[in-house]
Amino acid sequence: MLHSSGERDTRTLPKAHLHLHFTGSMRPSTLLELADKYGVHLPDALKGGEPPRLRATDERGWFRFQRLYDIARSCLRTPEDIQRLVREAAQEDVRDGSRWLEIQVDPTSYAPRLGGLSPALEIILDAVETASRETGLGIRVVVAANRMKHPLEARTLARLAVRYADRGIVGFGLSNDERRGFARDFDRAFGIARDGGLLAAPHGGELSGPGSVRDCLDDLRASRVGHGVRAAEDPWLLSRLAERRVTCEVCPASNVALGVYDKAEDVPVRALWDAGVPMALGADDPLLFGSRLAAQYDLVRRVHAFTDAELAELARQSVRGASMPEDVRAGVLADIDAWLAPAA
């Protein structure tokens, strides 16, 4: 399908979505309904409209971002709430052309209201299975540890993730403020996950510079890096990422909203592209940043002058970086070629 400008519609471009956080995937309208249901007061930044500029590169900005996230998460209290969130996230992804979603979640955040850690994870996995069946979207889970907590908790979470690998868990991540602690403190947790067949997908190169990406590679043996954009500051590191085919989960709108870069033009999508680093565009937390998956493709087209052929290659890179069965991957890649083919 072509726009009036002659450009193809990015919503119909088949793609994989590899960087979407659980609570952050919520529709603003759903948050408003749940907050009213549970009597939760929402700050203006969570009531929809213009997404907030959070400036998380300073301590106060990151604290404000975490506070908003915690308030939104407090509105998820029952299995039905979890089911609704996952179903609606899947519907939004399908609308944006996603064929495969790997949603990231720290089940410890939901455990207090859902009966404990294992019950919480089972409720999440049940919701994923149901949403996948109802929408036709392939959905898998990346269990993420919180780097602000003790590394022993991460090891417990890694063992749990491995135990449920046959229920659709494909990866193990590490999120929250990368300026705190050291990646190497979590190396044993990632070793447990890798030994259990899970891919390593920690955050790095967002709030901290290229050193945090190097730590992901050297200490955690990352197969993918959440964000990774600050690697652009180190040409040698870009070469390593390209040579190892480590996919960076790049989230342009998020980078601007959190103040990692002042403007969308500053996000180094072209630098990574030119260096041959595989990328998977992601929406990160649409609830807070105001845009979903297809909008990230629109942004790099509009701001970074990516052609339709280049957008198609970005979609292929997202598919190659996904943990999908090979027959599914082949089918999606063929559909990307069809999207790019000249109109009959």
204/2: higher pLDDT: 204
Does residue 102 lie within any of the structural domains? yes
Q: Which of 77-91, 167-181, 217-231, 243-257 has the lowest mean pLDDT?
A: 167-181
Is the pLDDT at 93 greater than 90, yes or no?
yes
| CA atoms within a 13 Å half-sphere pointing along the CA-CB vector of 105 | 33
Cα–Cα–Cα angle for 104, 106, 111, rounded to 5 degrees: 135
Sign of CA dihedral 165, 96, 265, 258: negative
Residue range 272-331, pLDDT digits in tens: 999 999 999 999 999 999 999 999 999 999 999 999 999 999 999 999 999 999 999 999
Q: What is the pLDDT of residue 55?
A: 66
Q: How confident is the model at residue 66 (pLDDT cuts 50, 70, 90)?
A: confident
Range of the domain at 295: 10-340
What letter does residue 98 receive in the DSSP assignment? E
Q: How confident is the model at residue 268 (pLDDT cuts 50, 70, 90)?
A: very high
Catalytic residue among 92, 102, 178, 206: 206
Does residue 2 lie within any of the structural domains? no
Q: Which of 48-57, 206-215, 228-237, 243-252 has the lowest mean pLDDT?
A: 48-57
Q: What is the pLDDT of residue 1?
A: 56
Does residue 309 lie within any of the structural domains? yes
Q: CA torsion angle for 14, 263, 25, 311 (degrees, to 10)?
A: 0
CB contact set of 53 (below 8 Å; sequence gap of 6+): 257, 259
Q: How confident is the model at residue 118 (pLDDT cuts 50, 70, 90)?
A: very high
Mean pLDDT of the chain: 94
47/217: higher pLDDT: 217
Helix (H) or strand (E) holding 104: strand 98-105
Is residue 328 classed as helix, strand or coil in its secondary structure?
Answer: helix
Q: Which CATH number characterizes residue 205's domain?
A: 3.20.20.140
Q: What is the pLDDT of residue 5?
A: 63
Does residue 4 lie within any of the structural domains? no
Does residue 110 lie within any of the structural domains? yes
Query: Which residue matches tokens 């190892």?
Result: 244
Residue range 141-178, pLDDT digits in tens: 999 999 999 999 999 999 999 999 999 999 999 998 88
CB contact set of 224 (below 8 Å; sequence gap of 6+): 18, 171, 199, 200, 201, 246, 247, 248, 249, 280, 321
Q: What is the pLDDT of residue 298?
A: 98
206 noted as active-site residue: yes
Q: What is the pLDDT of residue 153?
A: 96
Does residue 5 lie within any of the structural domains? no
Count of structural domains, the chain:
1
Backbone angles phi, psi at 169, to 5 degrees: -85, 125
Does residue 107 lie within any of the structural domains? yes
Does residue 64 lie within any of the structural domains? yes
Is the pLDDT at 12 greater than 90, yes or no?
yes
